[in-house]
Chain A
């Protein structure tokens, strides 16, 4: 049905695509630690080596964990398995709230204490009017 040239072209395209997809897959797999935007508290606790470079930790701000102390803000990031304490001096985004997603950028003091120099609020995939949120909370 198809001529020889057409079959060769199809073979060429398939080979090009396969080669590139495989290379991208290998590169992304190797760099997985750097591709992810943040690590969870559990991943930090489980890592065997001491992390000294700048990292990001993400998760939920634990309920009733935000405290203010001498212009410093202290809170706990949790992924509901492990927790990590965070100290931050500076302004937080408007959407920074308890029981909402957060990403903190900074350095690990030890496996339980994280000194942040930047706080980002993470928005989840839920969008709804305030009334709907209220009626959901009443249930």
Chain B
């Protein structure tokens, strides 16, 4: 049963048509999102134009957390059921998550200077995001460093252990006094971001998610080709 589902999804994932569709959707969401974020959306009453950094910072942080959680979830499957397809999927997801984590840290720093008055603070939220970045780094490095069977196991354990950090990142602003503001968007209460600012935020999130999907599809195809050509076989 499981193998039929994965064969079907594999076919969709490697079809050029699907990739083109994702690419077109990404271009549409990115252009509309940027237009909303940079031109149509209003200034903030306090931070004026630097609020626009949020439309890159927050989606990047969300995506990097989401991708890491997915990698960890798939890695559980890898360890328990030795599913080969999960290995390739989680390996291909990692690069875009890593890049978005870096973007979140850098844009946060650029926003912090004019708003807080500092580029960096050893604040629980920021530090835990840096720890996630290190876990991404370890994960990617383990694939380069170890030979295939070892790399599958070591990378999976790195992601499963690293996922403990995800709830710490999420709740760091509630558990401790932080310089970073608490979350504005909660499931149970009304958002403290004005609706005119939520539109570009969600559009940019969709654009970034589509971009990660696109990078994932490209990487996944490369991995499958490597498996086919035994000379380059890594897994």
Binding site for B on A (CB under 8 A): 6, 9-10, 13, 16-17, 20-21, 24, 32, 35-40, 58, 92-96, 100, 103, 118-133
Query: Binding site of A, secondary structure by majority: helix, strand, loop or mixed?
Result: mixed
Point out the residues of chain B lying under 8 angstroms from A100, CB to CB: 46
Point out the residues of chain A lying under 8 angstroms from B47, CB to CB: 95, 123
Residue of A nearest to B113 (CB): A93
Indicate if B76 sits at the interface (CB-CB under 8 A).
yes
Instruction: Say whether B192 contacts A127, CB under 8 Å.
Output: yes
Candidates B51, B176, B179, B192; contact of A120 at CB < 8 Å: B179
Candidates A36, A40, A95; contact of B46 at CB < 8 Å: A95
Instruction: Say whether B194 contacts A121, CB under 8 Å.
Output: no
- In angstroms, Cα B88 to Cα A90, docked, is 54
Q: How far is the CB of B154 from chain A (nearest CB, A)?
A: 13
Binding site for A on B (CB under 8 A): 42-47, 51, 54, 76, 79-81, 114-118, 121-124, 157, 160-161, 164, 168, 176-179, 181-184, 192-194, 196-197
- In angstroms, Cα B177 to Cα A16, docked, is 30
Instruction: Say whether A35 contacts B192, CB under 8 Å.
Output: no
Contact status of A129 and B45, CB under 8 A, knowing A6-B81, A36-B176, A37-B178:
yes
